[in-house]
Structure 1
Amino acid sequence: MPKPLEATIEIAAPPERVWAVLTDLKRMPEFSPNTVRMMPLGAVRAGTWTINLNHDTYYYPTTSRIVRFEPDRAFAFRMNENRTIWSYLLEATDSGTRLTERRDIPHGVRKPVRIMIATFLGGEEQFETRLIAGMSETLSKIKSAAER
């Protein structure tokens, strides 16, 4: 059964700088090893839809909707195909910002998506291991961009 996943990094930049980098969604392919394209349909805010192209063994399109948008604090979007919620929490620290990325599955994953993961993406355990590695890579690249 899919489980919540999480990765955290310390960034030597204030939350507002990290927020500016994180919410420039057209830059997501620069950070995420699985994102080929992320196109917001309008201004980035709660309720905005995005069209995405991803790659993990195969290329596959997805859509998402921003479900949380609290400037300099929290950002989240729900993937429509599998109902997962990807979130980012920004916490001010003495040296900058602690950024946490999470993947939650509050309503479980539909059977067709689980079959696709098992058939095309190596199964849930392998897929989640790659997701965790991708989250760490994403946070590291956001850190580099925010600290420049």
Structure 2
Amino acid sequence: MSDLEQSIRINATPARVWELVSDVCRMPEWSPQVTSTRLRSGFDLGLGAEFTNRNREGELEWTTHAEIVRFDPEKELSFKVVENWAIWTFRLEADGEGTLLTQTRDTPDGLSDLSKELTDGFFGGQDPFLATLTAGMQQTLERIKAAAEA
């Protein structure tokens, strides 16, 4: 079971949804927390690609680094964040003529001590931050749905 999980049904094919979610550089269009994403020089989108996100929550801004750890076209994209060890996944499932898109956040290795300290010190603790992340996941999925169905 995932730490966090949100799903949405999209009236578009898995190929169309994959076109959107597989390009991590488009994350600022979807996520309310990500303000920019840059693919590391020398990498193409795919397994092993490394990228940097600039994030914002309220007045706070921070940078994270990630690597794509699963890249299964039209099925699953996962990336692991170096700073906190979290694995974020977009999973696509054909659903009739549409797609069920699920976003998860897993922490199989726990969270880094640095992440815990920063979350407690700047975001009011783990529970409030998890609520913020869950709301952001739903907003992300709604934005992807709107783009896919446009």
> TM class, shorter-chain normalised?
over 0.9
Q: Secondary structure of 2:32's match?
A: coil
Task: Tell me which amino acid in the other structure corresponds to 1:30.
Answer: E
Residue in structure 2 matched with residue 66 of structure 1 by the alignment: 68
Paired residue for 1:26? 25
1:39-78 equivalences in 2 (<5 Å)? 39-41=38-40, 42-57=43-58, 58-78=60-80
Which residue number in structure 1 is paired with residue 16 of structure 2?
17
Q: Is the aligned partner of 1:6 residue 2:8?
A: no
CA distance in 2, matches of 1:94, 1:74: 18
Q: Secondary structure at the match of 2:37?
A: strand
Residue 112 (structure 1) shift = 2.0
* Residue 125 (str. 1) matches residue 127 (str. 2): yes
The equivalent of 2:106 in structure 1 is: 104
Does the Cα contact within 8 Å between 2:50 and 2:66 map onto a contact in 1?
Answer: yes
In structure 1, distance between residues paired with 2:26 and 2:77: 15
Q: Secondary structure at the match of 2:6?
A: strand
CA contact (8 A) 2:5 2:105 kept: yes
Q: What's the TM-score once normalised by structure 2's chain length?
A: 0.94
SS for the counterpart of 1:129 is helix
Equivalence map 1:130-141=2 (5 Å): 130-141=132-143
The alignment yields a C-alpha RMSD, in angstroms, of: 1.0
- With the length of structure 1 as denominator, give the TM-score of the two structures: 0.96
Aligned-pair CA distance for 1:110: 1.8
Which residue pairs with 2:34 in the alignment?
35
Mark the runs of 5 or more structure 2 residues left unpaired by the alignment: none
CA distance in structure 2 between the partners assigned to 1:83 and 1:99 by the alignment: 23
Could you report, residue by residue, the CA deviation over 1:76-120 in whole angstroms, capped at 9, with x for unpaired residues?
Answer: 000000000000100001130000000000001122210110001
Aligned partner letter, 1:80: V
Helix, strand or coil: the match of 1:18? helix
Alignment partner of 2:8: what SS? strand
- Off by >6 Å, runs of 4+ in structure 1: none
The offset of 1:139, in angstroms, is 0.2
